[in-house]
Amino acid sequence: MIDNNKYDVIIIGGSYAGFSAAMALGRALRKVLIIDSGKPCNQQTPYSHNFITLDGKKPSDINSRAKKQVLKYPTVTFVEAKATAVIKSKNAFEIETEKGETYTARKLLFTTGLRDLFPEINGFAKCWGISILHCPYCHGYEVKNETTGIIANEAIGYEFTKMISNWTKSLTLFTNGTSALTEEQTEILKKNNVAIVEKQIDYFEHNEGKLINIVFKNGTKAAIKALYAKPPFEQHSFLPQELGCEMTEQGLIKVDALQKTTIPGIYAAGDNSTFARSLALAVSSGSVAGAMINKEIIEEDFN
């Protein structure tokens, strides 16, 4: 009797890395299940850039198109749910969802992404991905030469400001409190006409996510078109840690060049395992993971 809940590979997390891996595995004739909760970190980002052939498309449109293409392969199944528990046995993984459903697979791939932890500043979350940005390669061209800010401090503030100076010369570093820059860093920024504002931020004035002003606690304002930030993050799913997957100092899942984690049979791809967060790189790492998982299964079976 065929067990319809038994798969070669279960991919926890859909989106770009997950669908990319599923396509590689589906084309390799593997029975694949994708479990996805439908909460990507870029869900309010209006457009995606720096991805050849799909530059300027909405992330949701790219995601829908990818899902439609992947599910054309009859061995690939999609379930909208949140994976809540995983049990590892000798030769398989058993996954349970919030709906109480259970599925088993020989191999497991996490493409679960990250959850950004926003500062408690009113307006930040509403502007995230629209006018408060994380990556100049993804969004810098669209706000080139505009009045731009960076919200950061210490070494990351200096380095991030230096990078953004490539896209605009109308640049201000907002340290949101006393600057912790070194004297040398401060002098170099001033030499490059970068203003440093140490006033504490009260809230962001915006219109449907588009910045108008930074409003400070002393009541003054700074007109701004775009702001770059690097908020801290956490794993969107803690199941990899619960399974014993080693993490990096930055809080990412540790993987090798083949997207293998430190636990046999478990792979990871996409934002959860790389410092460079982009749609194109997520697709690339997912494709690698799919091919390498298939190769591992072949090696196990061909004896």
Q: Report how many domains make up the chain.
A: 2
Q: Are residues 67 and 195 in the same domain?
A: no
What pLDDT was estimated at residue 3? 59
In the listed set 229, 260, 285, which residue is the last one of a domain according to the structure?
A: 229
Same domain, 184 and 40: no
- For residue 40, give its domain range: 6-116+232-301
158-182 pLDDT per residue, tens: 999 999 999 999 999 999 999 999 9
103/236 same-domain check = yes
CA distance 272 to 207: 31
Tell me: do 253 and 274 sit in the same domain.
yes
Cβ atoms of 255 and 273 closer than 8 Å: yes
Tell me whether residue 191 is in a domain.
Answer: yes
> What's the CA gap between 13 and 86, in Å, rounded?
14
Q: Does 98 lie in the same domain as 66?
A: yes
Q: Is residue 29 part of a domain?
A: yes
Given this model, what pLDDT does residue 2 score?
A: 43
pLDDT digits (tens, 9 = 90+) for 212-252: 999 999 999 999 999 999 999 999 999 999 999 999 999 99
Q: State which of 181, 201, 229 marks the end of a domain.
A: 229
Is-contact 234 114, C-beta < 8 A?
yes
Q: What is the rounded CA–CA span in Å between residue 118 and residue 111?
A: 22
In this structure, of 45-59, 129-143, 252-266, the range with the lowest mean pLDDT score is 45-59
Q: What is the pTM of this model?
A: 0.93
Examine the domain organization and report whether 58 and 131 are in the same domain: no
* pLDDT reported for residue 118: 94
Instruction: Answer yes or no: do 157 and 251 share one domain.
Output: no
Does residue 255 share a domain with residue 166? no
Give the domain-ending residue among 229, 259, 283. Answer: 229
Strand partners, 214: 204, 222
Same domain, 194 and 262: no
Q: pLDDT by residue (tens digit) across 182-218?
A: 999 999 999 999 999 999 999 999 999 999 999 999 9
Does residue 1 lie within any of the structural domains? no
87 lies in some domain: yes
